[in-house]
Amino acid sequence: MTVKAYGAHAKDKDLEPVQIERRGLKPTDVHIDILYCGVCHSDIHTARSEWGPAKYPVVPGHEIIGRVTAVGNEVTLHKEGDLVGVGCMVDSCRTCHSCQDDLEQYCETGATFTYNSHDPHTGGHTYGGYSESVVVDEAFVLSIPESLDTAKVAPLLCAGITTWSPLKHWNVKKGDKVGVIGLGGLGHMGIKFAHALGAHTVMITRSPDKAGDAEALGADEVLISTDAKQMKEHANSFDFLLNTVPVDHDVNPYLGLMKRDTTMAMVGAIEPLSKVHGGALISKRKNIAGSMIGGIKETQEMLDFCGEHQVLPDVEMIDIQEVNKAWERVVDADVKYRFVIDMASLKK
Ligand code: NAP
Ligand code: ZN
Ligand code: ZN
């Protein structure tokens, strides 16, 4: 069926109304009418071909919340009327060792991502959530706790799981000193989760004007990364760093903040990184690691945790017609702290 969407036709073009095709229901498919879709910096990187040539038109959006309107005849996990979510992936091989370990994001043959990925069903490429509806295999559809505010929950599907997964993987626990670098969409969820897990949470930002907000989000301390004196005071003191900076930058000053045997997990810059000083790693057996979103099982665990503890993103709601302006604000690091598109505006 043909549905309304917003997409970009070239790397230097604004998003504009487009029409896309959604496949008919297969036996294990769920048809979802989209209510809300979050705006991730990855949407911008992709549409602008910053991660290599994109497939156009790009219809971005991988923080999708909606209601199930129809299910295929073999679907058992979801039913009509359910509040559901779709994150960054819509399928994977399901048989490789990563898929068997519930780590579909690391699928050995490559997961099918929600947008701009080869779509085995159509032979074309996938279209994301800046659209009226989506059809997804039930195994990649998440259940959203009804206790959560539907209008705010969308960013958990990417910003949420991308920060939750490394905090859990590196076993952040009560009393650890955890630094979150960059206060944007991912960073603000990193602060909320580290705080909720009982860590002593430090917001590390270039933007002194974000300090008050960082504390309101749950930071115990704010460290201004451009202030050499403050950086020195925190030297060799962190148990874990979560780096959400979206572009290449000098990571060496952050390495200086870490204790012996600790890790800085990179989740932001997906591009070559500037030179890392080997001595900074060798002298105290430090690690730089990476982490990509999270598996479906872990995403459901995160959503259930948020339902239980009322952890929700701070969002600014926009109509789809405002999305190009919102993208400029994301690029300018002026988002508080995630834009969510009210998809009802697509009908205007
Ligand atoms: P965002 O909202 O733009 O936030 C990034 C923050 O980083 C900014 O608010 C800013 O915070 C800081 N920053 C920006 N430019 C910087 C620079 N040159 N040097 C130092 N700090 C800088 O972006 P987001 O949506 O949170 O996404 C962050 C990155 O993660 C993007 O690259 C996105 O594509 C990527 N991502 C990765 C995954 C994954 O699976 N690994 C998943 C989702 C997104 P301050 O003002 O506080 O300094
Ligand atoms: Zn994202
Ligand atoms: Zn696989």
| CATH number, domain with residue 109 | 3.90.180.10
Q: Are strands 258-266 and 287-290 parallel, antiparallel or unpaired?
A: parallel
| CATH number, domain with residue 271 | 3.40.50.720
| Ramachandran angles phi, psi of 235, nearest 5° | -60, 145
Question: Which among 111, 154, 119, 106 is positioned nearest to 292, based on CA atoms?
Answer: 106
Q: Are 230 and 92 members of one domain?
A: no
Q: Are 267 and 163 in contact (CB under 8 A)?
A: yes
pLDDT value of position 152: 98
Q: Are 281 and 174 members of one domain?
A: yes
Ligand 1 close to Cβ of residue 185 (< 6 A): yes
pTM: 0.97
Q: Are 19 and 153 members of one domain?
A: yes
Ligand 1 close to Cβ of residue 139 (< 6 A): no
Q: Are 207 and 256 members of one domain?
A: yes
List alpha helices for the chain, DSSP H. 41-47, 97-100, 159-169, 185-196, 211-217, 228-233, 252-255, 278-282, 296-309, 323-331
Residue nearest atom 39 in ligand 1 by C-alpha distance: 292
* 121 alpha carbon – ligand 3 mean position (Å): 17
pLDDT value of position 305: 98
Domain count, the chain: 2
* 313 alpha carbon – ligand 3 mean position (Å): 30
Q: Are 89 and 230 members of one domain?
A: no
pLDDT value of position 189: 98
Q: Are 241 and 124 members of one domain?
A: no
Q: Are 275 and 184 members of one domain?
A: yes
pLDDT, one tens digit for every residue, the chain (348 residues) = 999 999 999 999 999 999 999 999 999 999 999 999 999 999 999 999 999 999 999 999 999 999 999 999 999 999 999 999 999 999 999 999 999 999 999 999 999 999 999 999 999 999 999 999 999 999 999 999 999 999 999 999 999 999 999 999 999 999 999 999 999 999 999 999 999 999 999 999 999 999 999 999 999 999 999 999 999 999 999 999 999 999 999 999 999 999 999 999 999 999 999 899 999 999 999 999 999 999 999 999 999 999 999 999 999 999 999 999 999 999 999 999 999 999 999 998
Q: Are 124 and 248 members of one domain?
A: no
Q: Are 342 and 261 members of one domain?
A: no
Q: Are 311 and 218 in contact (CB under 8 A)?
A: no
User: What does the alpha-carbon distance between residue 73 and residue 135 come to, in Å, rounded to a whole number?
Assistant: 14
* 165 alpha carbon – ligand 2 mean position (Å): 14
pLDDT value of position 23: 97
Ligand 1 atom with least separation from CA of 207: 46
- Going from the C-alpha of 253 to that of each of 161, 179, 338, the distances in angstroms are 27, 13, 27
Return the SS3 of 237.
coil
Q: Which of 41, 49, 181 to mutate to test the pocket of ligand 1 (most atoms within 8 A of CB)?
A: 41
In terms of residue numbers, what domain contains 326? 2-157+294-347
Residue 135 β-bridge partners: 31
Q: Are 9 and 146 members of one domain?
A: yes
pLDDT value of position 144: 98
Q: Are 230 and 334 members of one domain?
A: no
Q: Are 152 and 166 members of one domain?
A: no
pLDDT value of position 191: 98
